[in-house]
A and B are shown apart, each in its own frame.
Chain A
């Protein structure tokens, strides 16, 4: 059974305006973590709030654990959905201490059970000695963990997290997200997680759902999203790709960097773009020169070079840090990818042969 299923869900905030969430469908299996990722305003947070029941969809349906939660004729309020939510600002109740915050969702349980569960949760997040403290006495990372403990304590069928790490410093963020992922996995929790950070999405998600302008662009494993982007947007957003124009030929794709011997399912002479990451491109100082080194960035283990091709197109290339080439040098650039590259026609990936 699917833990969560969205079918053609659409949400508009103004009756005439463009939809904030436009015809979105996906499913989520029990125990899986799905990361919703996209630039700000792409509809990922609204999708999360629709799942939580904090917004009503205009059309489409939403099932949680096989039960209808929302459809045009039905709406289950958030308190009846059995979900837990971690808010971007954590939303800890300032008038309750840590223990009472975590216990808040255990209403209706016998006092002793609720107490035991709360203590167990605090122990799980490593805050067993913090029960008496109030939210304002906690650090950002501690608040984060209290918010997670509070959301998990009632054993929700689904945990929703809205940019839960965005209020933390970069160092702390890496540490906390590893802990959070560990806790979610230890409890086999099904979770939906919203972020605008590609790297965080790749780290947290068992699968990723990439959004743009209210559309779901692609759902898939992190590797699929990264190496096999369904649209030009996904390749651009997830992978810092450069795009090189090309033309389909009988034996491959003709580009400025030569013929790529990769057959695609398109008529000859169709215009396409290929996505190139910096590790797909290399260069040397042989002839004929077809690019100029514009800039060189030290990245620790390697150098990243910005090259301008004869056509004016900019692409990037990685090189080991054993040699450095000065900006202004003319070089010969070539594609060094040991794998097939992703090809886009009108912004959509072309299926390979």
Chain B
């Protein structure tokens, strides 16, 4: 046969199928339970919510999701085009700086921009008022427009990274062919290049949409009500679990529709993959657009990376120099600053390790025995993407209270929420690591006298460890930033960096919150750096 067979027709190992099925069950229970609670929430609750809240929330949520997704796609694609396909000055350093906002949780970026732009008492309006001797109207960061701006600003890197990868994998011959058919550069971009990249761009856009649905901190901060923030309020303030369950049911339906689209695209994204004939397309010359393009890119980097980092650093220095503030940071109640760091690190790291270990049977099954059933199990285990933090929290509160009361009010329930929510990233990383491993490696090991167990430890694991670490890094990164589930599920006194930043900031103590926020950003930037280094272009 001319091509090496990548897929083998082994009989599926029943033990593996059992382990993967158990995993699917584990992720399914919270989802199914919330649906069950939503449907059996009672006609009276449904009627009340339908008459009052649901339509308003639905409108708000869909509007914000559409606006942020559109904005992030526009910014992400134009930034990846400028840095990958043109002679933009400084594109090498911009490539890094444009990816880095992933390390800044949107609510922290929101806090910084809010203090700068707030209509009353914001730094910039104050400065302008002093200069001109009277108040000058400035755009308010609150409400729909502000939330769209902040979320698009801190979520565009998803689209930027995925479309950038797609731009890079594009073969020069594609654009050359279009030019030989008489299309200009501009027409080629719109008629050939962007359509060819559509799977990559859309995949990034759908990830943004899922993240917007799940976002709590930013919308609460900027006082724009969505399903996530409404559920949070029902849960924490009014303690109305039936209403929360009904709202969650509606939210999950929207999220699952988006996730379904994203999963469908996953396979298609392949058609831009490189083959042996691949050669990179030459960069376009910007000519007179060079300076506007540079200024645009610089503005995006400034607003999404430099402003938050500089402001947080400035506040942190102020906080550390002021003995009273420093004392209140280092110790609040019985908690010390070191405790927040330690809590953040161990809960996120534990979630990362568990998620990767649990992803292995599912990934092994989906990669080695590809058929409809194993594919379905793998996709089912990725449903966590579509369950916002508040919904995971609600279902765990309900489930644990009823069936596992000993877990309630322990940090383990927080870890469990992280694992459930971020499992998809671990599964994708494990699947891609295993996909790069030819089955003939295992077969070679078997014919050289190793049992299947020895083969796993001596051949498979050493080869896929880098890929698994990447998956663990992603889970760690996103768990570190997780806010709503941590807020709702944490036992009293279990403060993480994210929680502490949120509490201080919502009480108005921005300077106090700054060192913790900065530390959170730095801790997220470290794994992000290593993840980006795995990509060729970031070496």
A residues lining the B interface (CB < 8 Å): 13, 40-41, 45, 52-56, 77-79, 81, 83-85, 87-89, 91, 93-95, 104-105, 107-108, 150-151, 154, 160, 163, 166, 196
Which listed residue, A78, A104, A166, touches B443 by the CB 8 Å rule? A78
Which listed residue, A77, A89, A95, A150, touches B438 by the CB 8 Å rule? A89
Scan residues 461-509 of chain B and give those whose CB is less than 8 A from a CB of chain A: 462-463
Which listed residue, A78, A107, A108, A150, touches B446 by the CB 8 Å rule? A78
Cβ–Cβ contact A40 & B2, under 8 A: yes
Cβ–Cβ contact B447 & A79, under 8 A: yes
Cβ–Cβ contact B443 & A95, under 8 A: no
A299 to chain B, nearest CB (A): 26
With a cutoff of 8 Å between Cβ atoms, the chain B residues found around residue A81 in the complex are 447
* CA–CA, A84 and B452, complex, Å: 17
Scan residues 1-60 of chain B and give those whose CB is less than 8 A from a CB of chain A: 1-2, 4-5, 8-9, 11
Cβ–Cβ contact A105 & B1, under 8 A: no
Scan residues 414-446 of chain B and give those whose CB is less than 8 A from a CB of chain A: 438, 440-441, 443-446
With a cutoff of 8 Å between Cβ atoms, the chain A residues found around residue B450 in the complex are 79, 107
Cβ–Cβ contact B1 & A79, under 8 A: no
Which listed residue, B5, B449, B459, B463, touches A154 by the CB 8 Å rule? B449
What are 19 A-to-B residue pairs whose CB atoms are below 8 Å?
Answer: A40-B1, A40-B2, A45-B1, A53-B446, A54-B443, A77-B451, A78-B443, A79-B449, A79-B451, A87-B440, A88-B440, A89-B4, A91-B443, A91-B444, A93-B463, A95-B462, A105-B448, A150-B444, A154-B448
* CA–CA, A13 and B11, complex, Å: 9
Cβ–Cβ contact A83 & B447, under 8 A: yes
* CA–CA, A101 and B199, complex, Å: 40
Interface of A, helix, strand, loop or mixed by DSSP: loop
Cβ–Cβ contact B447 & A85, under 8 A: yes
Cβ–Cβ contact B1 & A196, under 8 A: yes
Cβ–Cβ contact A78 & B447, under 8 A: yes
* CA–CA, A78 and B448, complex, Å: 8
Which listed residue, A53, A93, A107, A196, touches B444 by the CB 8 Å rule? A93
With a cutoff of 8 Å between Cβ atoms, the chain B residues found around residue A56 in the complex are 11
B424 to chain A, nearest CB (A): 28
Given A93-B459, A163-B1, check contact A52 B447 (CB 8 Å).
yes
* CA–CA, A108 and B462, complex, Å: 21
* CA–CA, A108 and B11, complex, Å: 31
With a cutoff of 8 Å between Cβ atoms, the chain B residues found around residue A154 in the complex are 448-449
| Given A85-B444, A93-B459, 6 further pairs, Cβ under 8 A | A45-B1, A55-B9, A77-B451, A78-B447, A91-B441, A160-B447
Q: Which residue of B lies closest to A105 (CB)?
A: B448
With a cutoff of 8 Å between Cβ atoms, the chain B residues found around residue A85 in the complex are 443-444, 447
Cβ–Cβ contact B443 & A87, under 8 A: yes
